[in-house]
């Protein structure tokens, strides 16, 4: 898959949703589950040991869902008020070269939530997953410095880390239930799974 071909894939496989991390859990509730990155649902790391736990859990989960050397698309989304240029793309250079693949007019897509002239620019990078190769990105997400998600077309899953855990969308409710059982010690105690 190429970066430019990703949006066609998304529209075919996830037609009900925009590629926005925090919206997916509501659209694909029957295939969604969440793990927490730290014991007792602690949100942020306070020590090097807690960062090790976050990175261990997230790498283990991604390895289990995707596997080594499997193609994955990494997506970043950045808000802007200009459809012509988004100078924020320079922030992505710490994590590699990304291609802008889509600009969403959020007011048109979600008029009840967004004012006029708010856009969401989607940037993509296709690569093969390697264990612990993206620790710098996972740590930045855990510290709420940036948002990104991993989409694996061949495994039909979306992995959307956030500051506190990881939202996962898989191909079926059965697959989700199997993974929830496997990772039961990392799940929330809340009834809604949040």
For 40-49, give one letter per residue: b (16+ CB within 10 A) or e.
eeeeebeeee
Dump pLDDT digits (tens) for 148-169. Answer: 999 999 999 999 999 999 999 9
Closest CA to 172 of 13, 24, 28: 28
Give the span between the Cα atoms of 41 and 30, in whole angstroms.
22
Mean pLDDT of the chain: 89
SS3 at position 133: coil
SS3 at position 119: strand
User: What percent of the chain has a predicted confidence (pLDDT) above 70?
Assistant: 93
Q: What pLDDT is recorded for position 88? A: 46
Two structure tokens written together for 72: 């994955």
148 and 14 Cβ atoms separated by less than 8 Å = no
* pLDDT exceeds cutoff 70 at 90: no
146 burial via Cβ count (<10 Å: 0-12, 13-18, 19+): middle
Two structure tokens written together for 142: 């855990």
Q: Tell me the average pLDDT across 15-40.
A: 92
All structural domains of the chain with their residue ranges:
6-186
């Amino acid at each position: 898959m190429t970066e430019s071909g990703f949006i066609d894939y998304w529209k075919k496989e996830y037609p009900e949703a925009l590629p926005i991390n925090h919206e997916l859990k509501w659209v694909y509730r029957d295939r969604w589950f969440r793990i927490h990155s730290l014991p007792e649902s602690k949100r942020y790391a306070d020590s090097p040991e807690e960062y090790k736990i976050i990175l261990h859990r997230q790498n283990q989960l991604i390895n289990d869902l995707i596997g080594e050397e499997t193609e994955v698309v990494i997506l970043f989304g950045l808000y802007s008020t200009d459809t012509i240029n988004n100078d924020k793309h320079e922030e992505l250079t710490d994590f590699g070269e990304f291609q802008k693949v889509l600009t969403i007019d959020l007011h048109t897509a979600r008029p009840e939530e967004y004012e006029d002239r708010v856009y969401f620019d989607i940037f993509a990078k296709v690569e093969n997953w390697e264990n612990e190769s993206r620790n710098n990105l996972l740590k930045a997400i855990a510290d709420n410095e940036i948002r990104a998600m991993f989409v694996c077309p061949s495994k039909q899953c979306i992995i959307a880390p956030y500051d506190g855990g990881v939202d996962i969308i898989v191909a079926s409710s059965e697959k989700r239930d199997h993974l929830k059982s496997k990772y039961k010690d990392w799940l929330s105690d809340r009834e809604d799974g949040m």
